[in-house]
């Protein structure tokens, strides 16, 4: 099975056209932030862009919001397919979001800063449809342009395979290293933002196309059908 590719940080109609032209399986809209992101959208901008996404491309809300009602309300406003909880939230909050957002997939970010991420990922897996592994800094919860320890990510893939939870790999990926990252980690999907941007922060058509093509050329990642809820 082909590795899925998500292009995140879509902030304009041009970005969206580039992502769709590259063949992205999912596009991410960053809205509702508590930490810095150059690609953060207003609610109005996010609603507009999400409405332009054609069928069969997954629309993902990426948010730092930490209160369940606010997260669900924003997802409903945008009409997205998936909620990527990228903030520093409790598991009670994730469970509340999942209960209040039937029909939407829930992805929770785990920041890989050391071996403790393995247990963190194991703990959150039961309450979401996939775990996204990302890098972070003191001021940023994503979009760092930095890779993390892929051996830890690979260990998480093995651990979560036992409970049927897919893993999405993010953090410092780009056209030049995504194939290697997939080979080392074995994720269900890969996620990129700054690694396919121009110096002005816009999506680069050639880089986006190369990233998606490299991901799609990689066959036989671990596959985890989720049991009925």
Q: Which of 15, 39, 129, 134 is catalytic?
A: 134
> Is residue 8 flagged as an active site residue?
yes
CA-to-CA distance for 69 and 12, rounded, in angstroms? Answer: 27
Ramachandran region, residue 211 (left: φ > 0; alpha: ψ -120 to 50; beta: rest): alpha
DSSP per position, 167-214? EEE-SS--TTTHHHHHHHH--SEEEESGGGB-TTSPBPHHHHHHHHHH
| Contact between 27 and 59 (Cβ < 8 Å) | yes
Q: Which of 8, 31, 128, 165 is catalytic?
A: 8
> Is residue 134 flagged as an active site residue?
yes
Distances (CA, A) of 84 to 89, 133, 198, 213, 220: 12, 12, 24, 23, 24
CA-to-CA distance for 4 and 15, rounded, in angstroms? Answer: 19
Length of the chain counted residue by residue: 229
Q: Which residues are catalytic?
A: 8, 134
């Amino acid at each position: 099975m082909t590795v899925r590719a998500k292009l995140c940080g879509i902030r304009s109609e041009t970005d969206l056209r580039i992502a769709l032209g590259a063949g992205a399986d999912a596009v991410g809209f960053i809205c509702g932030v508590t930490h810095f992101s150059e690609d953060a959208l207003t609610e109005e901008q996010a609603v507009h862009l999400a409405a332009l996404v054609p069928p069969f491309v997954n629309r993902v809300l990426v948010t730092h919001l930490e209160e369940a009602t606010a997260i669900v309300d924003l997802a409903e406003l945008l009409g997205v397919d998936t909620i990527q909880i990228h903030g520093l939230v409790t598991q009670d909050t994730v469970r509340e979001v999942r209960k209040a957002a039937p029909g939407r997939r829930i992805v929770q970010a785990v920041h890989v800063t050391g071996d403790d991420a393995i247990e963190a990922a194991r703990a959150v897996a039961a309450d979401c449809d996939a775990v996204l592994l990302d890098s972070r800094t003191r001021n940023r919860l994503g979009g760092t342009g930095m890779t993390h320890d892929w051996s830890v990510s690979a260990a998480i893939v093995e651990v979560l395979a036992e409970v049927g939870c897919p893993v999405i790999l993010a953090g410092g990926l780009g056209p030049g290293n995504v194939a290697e990252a997939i080979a080392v980690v074995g994720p269900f999907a890969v996620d990129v933002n700054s690694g396919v941007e121009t110096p002005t922060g816009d999506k680069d058509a050639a880089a986006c196309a190369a990233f998606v093509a490299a991901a799609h050329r990689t066959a036989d990642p671990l596959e985890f059908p989720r049991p009925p809820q």
